[in-house]
Amino acid sequence: MLEQLKKQVYEANMRLKNENLIIFTWGNVSGITEDRKYMVIKPSGVDYELLTPDKMVICDMDGKVIEGNLKPSSDYKTHLEIYKAALNVNGVCHTHSKWATIWAQSKRGIPNYGTTHADYFQGYIPCSRDMSNEEIREDYEKNTGKIIVETLEGKDFIKNKAVLVSSHGPFTWGNSANDSVDTAIVLEEIAYMAKYTEDLNPKIDSINGVLQSKHFDRKHGVNAYYGQGN
C-alpha cells in the first residue's frame, strides 16, 4: 500500500542524516496522499541504519495505524495538525538541527537580514509562544501542532514554510516530503547566518522591505522569473 509514497518518505528521512540535520534519531519526515486520507511517517526511535521503505508507518487522519508493525513517530499528531490546517502542504519535517534549535531555545524568531533568507521565506521565521502546563500535560504533540497553526494564523503555509517551537526546535514543510527537508536545510543555514550577522553588527536592521519582496517574488510570485521554468 502506498509503496511510492513510502519510498519518497524513506528517502526524505535518510536525507536528514546525510545533510547533518540530526544525530541519533532526532528527526522525522512525513508525506500525505493526494486525497489527504493517509499520512506516511518514520517509525518512532528506529535507528536510521535500520530504516527501509517498508518500515514507514501509514496512519489515517485520526492517527490510527493502517499499515506497519511499528509505532509512528512520537510527533505524528503534530504533523497531522499541520496537514489538517494547510491543504497546500504535502510534506512535513521536524529536526533538532543545531542552529535553528538555538533560536528556538532562545525563544526568538529569526529576523530577515538578507536576500538569502528572502529567497525562501516571505518574512521573518516566527517562534511560537510557550505552551501552558495544561497543553503539555493534556495532549503534548497534538497541542504542539495546534500552536504551530496558531503561530501562522492567516498566513499561507507555503510562503511561510517554518516555525520554531519555543524551547523545542524547528518544524518545516513544503510541497512534498523532499521539499520539507530542503526547507529544513535552508532554515539551518539562515539560522547560522543570522546569529553571526547579529554578532558582527548588534544594531543591524532587517532587510529593506522592497528588496525582501523583490527576492521572494522573483522566485515565488505570480510573475516569478528565477530559473528556467518548466
Q: pLDDT (tens digit, 9 = 90+) per residue, 25-42?
A: 999 999 999 999 999 999
**Tell me: the pLDDT tens digits for 152-201?**
999 999 999 999 999 999 999 999 999 999 999 999 999 999 999 999 99
Please state the domain count of the chain.
1
Q: Which three cell numbers stand for residue 65?
A: 495505524
Other C-beta atoms closer than 10 Å to the C-beta of 187 total: 28
Q: Which three cell numbers stand for residue 54?
A: 517498508
The answer to whether 141 and 82 are in contact (CB under 8 A) is no
Q: Is residue 229 part of a domain?
A: no
Q: Where are the alpha helices (DSSP H) in 54-114?
A: 76-85, 98-105
Q: Is 205 a catalytic residue?
A: no
pLDDT tens string for the chain (230 positions)? 899 999 999 999 999 999 999 999 999 999 999 999 999 999 999 999 999 999 999 999 999 999 989 999 999 999 999 999 999 999 999 999 999 999 999 999 999 999 999 999 999 999 999 999 999 999 999 999 999 999 999 999 999 999 999 999 999 999 999 999 999 999 999 999 999 999 999 999 999 999 999 999 999 888 898 888 76
Q: Of 48, 119, 192, 217, which is the active-site residue? A: 119
Q: Is residue 227 part of a domain?
A: no
Q: Of 60, 139, 196, 226, which is the active-site residue? A: 226
Describe the strand order of the beta sheet including 57-60 as a list of residue ranges: 65-67, 57-60, 38-41, 27-32, 91-95, 169-174, 162-165
Q: Is 199 a catalytic residue?
A: no
Q: Give me the count of residues in the chain.
A: 230
Q: How far apart are CA 107 and CA 70, in angstroms?
A: 34
Cα→Cα distances 104→109, 147, 167, Å: 7, 14, 5
Q: Which three cell numbers stand for residue 26?
A: 532526532
Q: Full-prediction pTM beyond 0.85? A: yes
φ/ψ of 92, rounded to 5, equals -130, 140
- CATH code, domain carrying 179: 3.40.225.10
Q: Is residue 177 part of a domain?
A: yes
Q: Is residue 230 part of a domain?
A: no
198: domain range? 3-220
Q: Is residue 228 part of a domain?
A: no
Q: How far apart are CA 192 and CA 176, in angstroms?
A: 25
